[in-house]
Structure 1
Amino acid sequence: MKSIINPETLNFLSTLEINNNRDWFNENKNLYLKAKENVENVVNEIISGISEFDKSVERLEAKNCIFRIYKDTRFSKDKTPYKTNIGASLVEKGPKTLNSAGYYVHIEPGKSFLAGGVYMTETKNLKAIREKISSESEDFLKIINKKSFKDDLELRGDRLVKVPQSFGKEDPMGDYLKFKQFTVFHALSDEDVLDENFVKNTIKIFKEIYPFNEFLNEAIEK
């Protein structure tokens, strides 16, 4: 039997947003555990599907990929104690790695999305990615200009104002070299998340992301 995201999971997250305090959460922790288990089951099926074309994730388990719901509020003006989403990072070396491109599932009422690429990485890796984009521009453009890629995904990330100093100002790939993060994004409606084919549709999007991730990881692993 295939797994689906249950409406109760989105309902829990919506209710948590209204009652984001420790007393309510502790009284309703069973609802959180059910929502977390639901997402874990779905993510395990997604991992299984991805592993058919990307072997790097085949040893991952959803329970190790889902982020804690508890927030670190030490340096935040927002002192609410809990995240109002359930997110899973599917990366070869685990969700906390900064050194590999991977896949991300974000479940949050009205704000769900799928993503891929590199969100944060070491400076040397960022430089390596930019160098590969500059020197292998044709391969990079072939990936991001593919019709199905452009139809389903948006390249996102913080950007520099100018092309990095180590590259020529007139580098034809200058607009891409300004990126400080190399991520692609696919928005999801609540209807998309609750669709009985959510797992299948997610795997399809991640298969589209795979060549992008592969390009980035080839640069990082050199």
Structure 2
Amino acid sequence: MSERYFTKQTFSFLAALAENNEREWFAAHQQDYEDFVRTPALDLISDMSDEMPAISRHFLAQPKKVGGSLMRIHRDTRFSRDKTPYKTNIGIQFRHEADKDIHAPGYYLHIEPGECFVAIGLWHPDADALFKIREAIVQNGDAWVAARDDKTFNRHFTLEGDVLANAPRGFAKNHALVEDLKRKDFIGLASLSEATATSKNLRPQVVERFRQAAPYMSFLCKALELRF
């Protein structure tokens, strides 16, 4: 296993890409992308494949250049006003083994100048998954509160994402957990410093944060009838 992955050159490349988000510039700096972004990211994912079974055997670390845990650098600009061709961050997602079949929870690492973090849960789940989670909160409120308010989880993670203005259709407006039922995203974020991202502590800290999210992830998986 490697001790270090990303470097100051990684952040310098991403910052320069943000200033020069054009295909010609990227083509001229393709080797920098390979050396400072894609290769270390794939090395980290490869090493995480040995770590993930201790977190959950049902989440996958796939070190592939295309179609694996490393999210593609190219942006989908078809429906966006922003036509810049490249993402200016590194996104690594460890997806549930059932992800190809349903919208499943995942673990995520985000590396970007000024914004590095670990994330867990579901971002923009589809309507069916969202209903199942809300129904699980109603039916198993004590288990949800225990997962949401777990002291270790709360010490590092904050719940983020979009919320409805009112109770979702079909759920009581005066339910004791209505604020949770309003959630459209069920994600937790834990900040990460750039110093940690470029140090030998990156992988150990990512593993530790993933483990600390176990109660929350376990609840989501159970709600969606997935193995955790």
Q: Same fold (TM over 0.5)?
A: yes
Q: For the Cα contact (< 8 Å) 1:109–1:190, is it kept in 2?
A: yes
Question: What SS class does the counterpart of residue 47 from structure 1 fall into?
Answer: helix
1:100-115 alignment, distance < 5 Å: 100-115=104-119
User: How many Å apart are 1:98 and its aligned residue?
Assistant: 5.4
**Which residue is 1:47 aligned to?**
49
**Which residue is 1:26 aligned to?**
27
- The answer as to 2:100 corresponding to 1:99 is no
Quick one: distance in 2 between partners of 1:83 and 1:144? 32
Which amino acid is the alignment partner of residue 2 of structure 2? K
- TM-score when scaled to structure 2? 0.90
Which amino acid is the alignment partner of residue 16 of structure 1? L
**Which residue is 1:15 aligned to?**
16
User: How many Å apart are 1:44 and its aligned residue?
Assistant: 2.3
- The answer as to 2:185 corresponding to 1:181 is yes
Q: For the Cα contact (< 8 Å) 1:65–1:95, is it kept in 2?
A: no
User: How many Å apart are 1:97 and its aligned residue?
Assistant: 6.7
Quick one: distance in 1 between partners of 2:3 and 2:124? 31
Quick one: distance in 1 between partners of 2:100 and 2:22? 26
- TM-score when scaled to structure 1? 0.92
Which of residues 136, 139, 149 in structure 2 aligns to 1:135?
A: 139
Q: Single out whichever of 6-15 and 17-26 deviates more from structure 2.
A: 6-15
Q: For the Cα contact (< 8 Å) 2:69–2:92, is it kept in 1?
A: yes
* Larger helix proportion of the pair: 1
Which of residues 201, 205, 215 in structure 1 aligns to 2:205?
A: 201
Q: For the Cα contact (< 8 Å) 1:99–1:220, is it kept in 2?
A: no
User: How many Å apart are 1:53 and its aligned residue?
Assistant: 2.6
Quick one: distance in 2 between partners of 1:220 and 1:21? 41
User: Could you say if the C-alpha distance between residues 112 and 10 of structure 1 is closer, same or farther in structure 2, counting changes exceeding 3 Å?
Assistant: same
Quick one: distance in 1 between partners of 2:221 and 2:99? 15
Query: In angstroms, what is the RMSD of aligned CA positions?
Result: 1.8
Which of residues 110, 115, 121 in structure 2 aligns to 1:117?
A: 121
Q: Give structure 2 stretches of 5+ with no counterpart.
A: none
**Number of aligned residue pairs:** 221
Quick one: distance in 2 between partners of 1:136 and 1:49? 31
**Which residue is 2:220 aligned to?**
216
Question: What SS class does the counterpart of residue 43 from structure 2 fall into?
Answer: helix
Which of residues 56, 72, 84 in structure 2 aligns to 1:80?
A: 84
- The answer as to 2:193 corresponding to 1:192 is no
User: Could you say if the C-alpha distance between residues 94 and 82 of structure 1 is closer, same or farther in structure 2, counting changes exceeding 3 Å?
Assistant: farther
Quick one: distance in 1 between partners of 2:9 and 2:49? 23
Question: What SS class does the counterpart of residue 221 from structure 1 fall into?
Answer: coil
Which amino acid is the alignment partner of residue 219 of structure 2? F
Which amino acid is the alignment partner of residue 108 of structure 1? E
Question: What SS class does the counterpart of residue 167 from structure 1 fall into?
Answer: coil
User: Could you say if the C-alpha distance between residues 95 and 87 of structure 1 is closer, same or farther in structure 2, counting changes exceeding 3 Å?
Assistant: farther
Quick one: distance in 2 between partners of 1:107 and 1:221? 31
User: How many Å apart are 1:163 and its aligned residue?
Assistant: 1.2
Q: Give structure 1 stretches of 5+ with no counterpart.
A: none
User: How many Å apart are 1:61 and its aligned residue?
Assistant: 1.2
Which amino acid is the alignment partner of residue 13 of structure 1? L
